[in-house]
Amino acid sequence: MSDSNRLRIAIQKSGRLSDDSIALLKAIGVKLQIRDRLLIAHATNLPIDLLRVRDDDIPGLVMDGVVDLGFIGENELEEKMLERQASGKKFEFKTLRRLDYGGCRLSIAVPNEFNYQGVQSLEGKKVATTYPFLLERFFKENNVNASAVMLTGSVEVAPRAGVADAICDLVSTGATLEANGLQEEEEIFQSKAVLIQRAGELPEAKAQLVSRFLPRIDGVMQAKE
């Protein structure tokens, strides 16, 4: 265990949010020495430890109060919130900043040959996704009886594999959909990376560190505009 006086920040170990999150920490003055294999990275100039994990684990680490802060995509955060709500677990946190990276949308896409006429076309269909709670909320809001088929990867090949009729997946450019003969039909959630903090008060020294960082984050984002 690392020292509890150090601010603990959860960050995606490797993936689409890693480089931008690390670049942001460096830009606000956190000096980091990251060794690829290690779970923990210590800042060399400040009392900060980074916990490097899969992005799926970050909402839970923050909501369980295991870490103080986390960088996470809103899609994953909202999904885990719904999941924890459904199973009666705590799901409180504070959003400190919405960031300027990690932009994407969660969309329903259907095979090109699917005669899509609006959400009602999904009635009775199976939709493959990594985000079953967000998808089921969309079905409910739109009064559609369809089922979410949970897949943790290769969602875009599910229709071709005969596993589902349609998919609900993250899209940024749309190139992956096109390459798989899929047509984007419904955008159900828009996402960016956010910096979140656990519920409850942070000890004074940590709170001061965080309040020094926030204006710097704003400055870094403004400079990029």
Binding site for ligand ATP (CB under 6 A): 12, 15-17, 54-56, 73, 75-76, 102, 104, 170, 172, 191
Asked if 185 interacts with Zn ion (CB under 5 A), we say no
Dist. CA 100–CA 219, nearest whole Å: 12
Count residues contacting Zn ion (CB under 5 A)?
2
H or E segment and range at residue 184: strand 182-191
Residue 12's binding partner among Zn ion, ligand ATP, none (Cβ under 5 to 8 angstroms by kind) is: ligand ATP
Q: Which is nearer to Zn ion, 22 or 209 (CB)?
A: 22
Q: Tell me the helices (H) and strands (E) count for the chain, helix number first.
A: 6, 11
| Alpha helices, H only, 12-131 | 18-27, 58-63, 74-86
Using the rule CB under 5 A, give the single segment among 29-37, 55-63, 146-154, 178-186 that binds Zn ion. Answer: 55-63
- Tokens read off for 221: 């984002």
User: Shortest approach of Zn ion to residue 12 CB, angstroms?
Assistant: 8
Residue 59's binding partner among ligand ATP, Zn ion, none (Cβ under 5 to 8 angstroms by kind) is: none
Q: Which is nearer to ligand ATP, 20 or 47 (CB)?
A: 20
Q: Which is nearer to Zn ion, 56 or 136 (CB)?
A: 56
Dist. CA 198–CA 90, nearest whole Å: 11
CA 142 to chain centre: 24
- SS3 label, residue 195: strand
Asked if 56 interacts with Zn ion (CB under 5 A), we say yes
CB 166 within 8 A of CB 159: yes
User: Shortest approach of ligand ATP to residue 194 CB, angstroms?
Assistant: 9
